Amino acid sequence: MAYTNNEPVKKHAGTILLIGRNLSADRNADVHCHFETYDKTLVPGTYMNAEIQVKNAQAYAIASEAIVQFEGKQYIYKVIGNREFEMTEVNTGESENGFTEIISPTKDMTSNAVFVIQGAYSLLMLMKNKAE
């Protein structure tokens, strides 16, 4: 719902088509939207305020650097003991701010499980070269 500063109670429903990449110092962004109903009092390019509905969902996530790719699949390493690790295949979803969503968490992903975050790629190389 968008509204002008002159008429804050008059709300205009619409769909956002494009969001600008830059945020101003006061955390504003330019967007391009189309309103559901035409209002001839609004001029193209008018600056407006908006109440935006966003998707909010809980998800399992891990630091993106903890995920390694090997033979076309993605894996994370679970710490199972002193210098002992278990390679677990995962399916990933969206990534944002250095974290990646785990779409289908395994039974091993409990709140007290510990996973390798830093050096996961080095661990992959060490384990695969040792196996050969």
Q: What is the CATH number of domain 60-131?
A: 2.40.420.20
* DSSP structural state of residue 92: E
pLDDT score, position 131: 53
Q: How far apart are CA 76 and CA 101, in angstroms?
A: 12
User: Tell me: the pLDDT tens digits for 34-61?
Assistant: 889 888 888 888 888 888 777 777 888 8
Q: How far apart are CA 76 and CA 64, in angstroms?
A: 10
* DSSP structural state of residue 95: E
3-state secondary structure of 74: strand
pLDDT score, position 113: 82
CB 8 within 8 Å of CB 50: no
- The predicted model scores a pTM of 0.57
pLDDT score, position 130: 67
User: What is the sign, positive or negative, of the torsion defined by CA atoms of 34, 32, 28, 93?
Assistant: positive
pLDDT score, position 30: 83
Give pLDDT < 70 ranges for the chain: 105-106, 108, 130-132
pLDDT score, position 75: 92
User: What is the sign, positive or negative, of the torsion defined by CA atoms of 31, 27, 46, 48?
Assistant: positive
